[in-house]
Amino acid sequence: MNQPRILIFACRWCGLIGADAAGKKRIALPTPFRVIPVECAALVETDAIIRALADGVDGVAVLGCHIGGCRYNNANHTAIKRMELLKDLLDTTGIGGNRLMFSFGTAHEDYQFEEVIKNFFDELGPLPSLGPWLSPSGVIR
């Protein structure tokens, strides 16, 4: 893939801080991406990740607080097992579990955010596009 499109769910206590900081510094990032702020990483529905992939997003990153640092009573822990299983399903279908990236507490500084995105971009690069899976009926949503 040339320019993988990345969707980032960033929890506003950690990940969003890094994203904002990177934005303010106008750090150049290699790929089109969009950040959606969420209260907590645990609120990200797996269905939303699936829908994003169907809408042409190539990779989804969920940025949360570090283990032990969640403001909402360790809610970030509850999301881990769900994400693992979704990874399994994505792997089964050949779509690829590495399109889903889940990061705890590694993106609350601007350079960290930049690194996380760049790493994700590198991982997604060699993957084929999801073309065969998209808009199968030809009706544009």
Task: In angstroms, give the least distance from the CB of 23 to other proteins.
Answer: 21
Task: In angstroms, give the least distance from the CB of 85 to other proteins.
Answer: 5
Which token pair is 103? Answer: 């990061």
Cβ closer to other proteins: 38 or 101? 101
Cβ closer to other proteins: 28 or 140? 140
Tokens 């995105």 correspond to 117
Count CA atoms within 13 Å of residue 111 on its CB side. 0
Cβ closer to other proteins: 24 or 131? 131
C-alpha to C-alpha distance for 18 and 74, rounded to whole angstroms: 20
Cβ closer to other proteins: 21 or 116? 116
Binding site for other proteins (CB under 8 A): 46-47, 50-51, 53-54, 66-68, 74, 77-78, 80-98, 100-106, 116, 119-120, 123, 127-128, 130, 132-141
C-alpha to C-alpha distance for 136 and 115, rounded to whole angstroms: 35
Listed residue (38, 50, 53, 46) closest to 4, CA to CA = 53
